[in-house]
Structure 1
Amino acid sequence: MDTEKNLQKLNSLNKNTLMETLDIEFVAVGKDFLTAKMPVTSKVHQPYGIMHGGATAAIAETVGSCASAFFLNDPSKLINGIELSINHIKSIREGTVFATAKAIHKGRTTHLWEIRVEDEEGNLISICKLTNIILDKK
């Protein structure tokens, strides 16, 4: 697996998207995981000065959906998230969060991912579960 080439390919898809707006960048890929990072600045804060749950949802769905597409590696298929649940464990005001998606189930038509969102010290910020449906492109 050419990790650097794979990361460049994944990051090239971010141009002119929400991922570019939120500065989400893929930083690690392995045989069973994909990791992205996002800076925690006022751009992703809610009014109390902590990371907005919607920003957590954005990075979680990004890494989980991209993991499905990357590991499926079938250009005739389209990946759509159909359910996302998040439990927020700890708040964060600044720094960087890392979201790592690991498969719980990779079936023919659905994928289920666990996404751990952690700070730079490895503290759990949120735990997420994403279900993706695999569709044929029209």
Structure 2
Amino acid sequence: MPEQTAAIWFSTPSVETLNLKAEATLNQNLGIEVTGFTDTALQGKMPVDERTVQPAGVLHGGASVAFAETLASWAGYLVVDSSRFHVVGQEINANHLRPGIAGQFVYGEATPIQLGRRSHVWQIHIRNESGKLVCISRCTLAVIDLPGQYATKEERA
């Protein structure tokens, strides 16, 4: 029998709530949507259209990286107590393996490699509609205190 793993999420708002929070942001401008969760992954999709292609008519590598960091950032945000912490991108890399084809969607899934107290490392697989890998990315997030959450001098003493 496979070992059961506990869900990694501190909170799991609805997909609709996350997508509403993305209005008037890069996410909306590129057509990025969160589509679902598993116990250990966050999933989304992005169109390959005039917003996300390069002049040759295939998915722009920068759009893939923006999609990957968006999924990792949402996932990191949902893992931490957002009343105390926030996550910000610290480093990202990507290997572009095949072109994303205009007129289709690409689908991404962010899964954790390491969830530390002050940093997370997420792996993001981006696939085409046939399920073939288009891009694999790794994103490191810094977990930072929200402003006002820093300990006072008296509290540190």
TM band (smaller chain): over 0.9
Which whole-Å CA distance do the structure 1 matches of 2:38 and 2:81 have between them? Answer: 14
**Greater per-residue helix proportion:** 1
The answer on whether the counterparts of 2:73 and 2:141 sit within 8 Å (CA) in structure 1 is yes
Structure 2 stretches lacking a partner, 5+ long = 1-6, 148-157
Asked if 1:71 corresponds to 2:79, the answer is yes
| Partner Cα separation in structure 1 for residue 92 and residue 99 of structure 2 | 19
Query: Shift in Å at residue 43 of structure 1?
Result: 1.8
1:35 to 32, 43, 59: 43
What code does the residue aligned with 1:103 have?
Answer: P
Q: TM-score scaled by structure 1? A: 0.93
User: In the aligned structure 2, how far is the partner of 1:132 from the partner of 1:113?
Assistant: 8
Q: Which shifted more, 73-82 or 128-137?
A: 73-82
Deviation of 1:93 after TM superposition, in Å, equals: 2.1
Q: How many residues align?
A: 136
Q: TM-score, normalised by structure 2?
A: 0.82
**Which range moved further: 119-128 or 72-81?**
72-81
Residue 136 (str. 1) matches residue 145 (str. 2):
yes
Kindly state the Cα deviation for residue 73 of structure 1 after the two structures are TM-superposed. Answer: 3.5
For residue 7 of structure 1, what is the aligned residue in structure 2? 15
Over alpha carbons, which structure has the higher Rg? 2
- 3-state secondary structure, aligned to 1:63: helix
Further displaced range: 70-79 or 14-23: 70-79
| Residue type of the alignment partner of 2:33 | E
- Residue identity over aligned pairs, in percent, reads 32
Aligned counterpart in structure 1 of residue 61 of structure 2, from 46, 53, 56: 53
Give the AA of the match of 2:19.
Answer: N
Displacement after TM superposition at 1:28 (Å) = 1.1
User: 1:103 — aligned with what?
Assistant: 112
* In structure 2, distance between residues paired with 1:97 and 1:51: 9
More strand by share: 1
